[in-house]
Structure 1
């Protein structure tokens, strides 16, 4: 299942199927994460950002201690601010170079 396009997460005592393309960003909440989707839904489940980033496909990137973003769903990037969905996310200095390199590969 290397080329899988979705994953199941356990939230509210049920398993929910989420397609990777539908995830805008993931916010860390200590030992929990909050997954924000393109259709404005939010799912909270028990997992750390550190553990989660290792299991996500390569289009996901950590840009801050508290955020993982889906590179395919970024609308704009300016002055260390990403616009992803309806939220502006500040990119930490330690992640900026890696982000610019990844975005450079996606440029025309």
Structure 2
């Protein structure tokens, strides 16, 4: 169409720079779409995950699957969470619950300002810490070991000098 319309209706129009500009604009649009879509998608996923965490923080409780039912656990009552391979043992101030969930999954759900991973098998409730050393944490009468890889984070979060 360009080759038929331009010579007939626009004989004085110089078309040499038209293709350069149109190719440049086309390339810019392609590059922007290739960059914007993945960045937008990752920002959307980040927003969704943070809003889910905020929702959990507002609720102040979680539900854990115990056998064939969901059991409500108040976050402020959780003393520690222990890994039992594919299961976790949640020790609250009143009871112990064994649920089908991994420790990493529960760590992602729990608010980071109230809980701390101290060992590959343990997450503790910071409010229940009675005393601690770089190797061991005392939660009432319960002794929890501190793993080598978590030692620096424990010292930083609990204020060890």
Interval containing the TM-score (normalised by the shorter chain): 0.7 to 0.9
Alignment of 1:29-108 (within 5 A): 29-39=84-94, 41-58=95-112, 59-104=114-159
Output one character per residue of 1:48-101: Cα deviation in whole Å (capped at 9) or x when no partner: 111111111111111111111111111110351101143101101211111111
The list of structure 1 runs, each at least 4 consecutive aligned residues, that deviate by more than 2 angstroms after superposition, is none
Show structure 1 runs of 5+ residues with no match: none
Structure with a larger share of its residues in strand: 1
Q: In 2, are the aligned partners of 1:38 and 1:85 still within 8 Å (CA)?
A: no
Q: TM-score, normalized by length of structure 1?
A: 0.87
Paired residue total: 104
Relative contact order: is structure 1 or structure 2 higher (C-alpha 8 Å, sep ≥ 6)? Answer: 1
Show structure 2 runs of 5+ residues with no match: 1-54
Q: TM-score, normalized by length of structure 2?
A: 0.60
Name the SS of the counterpart of 1:57 in structure 2. coil
RMSD, aligned α-carbons:
1.6
Highest Rg: 1 or 2? 2
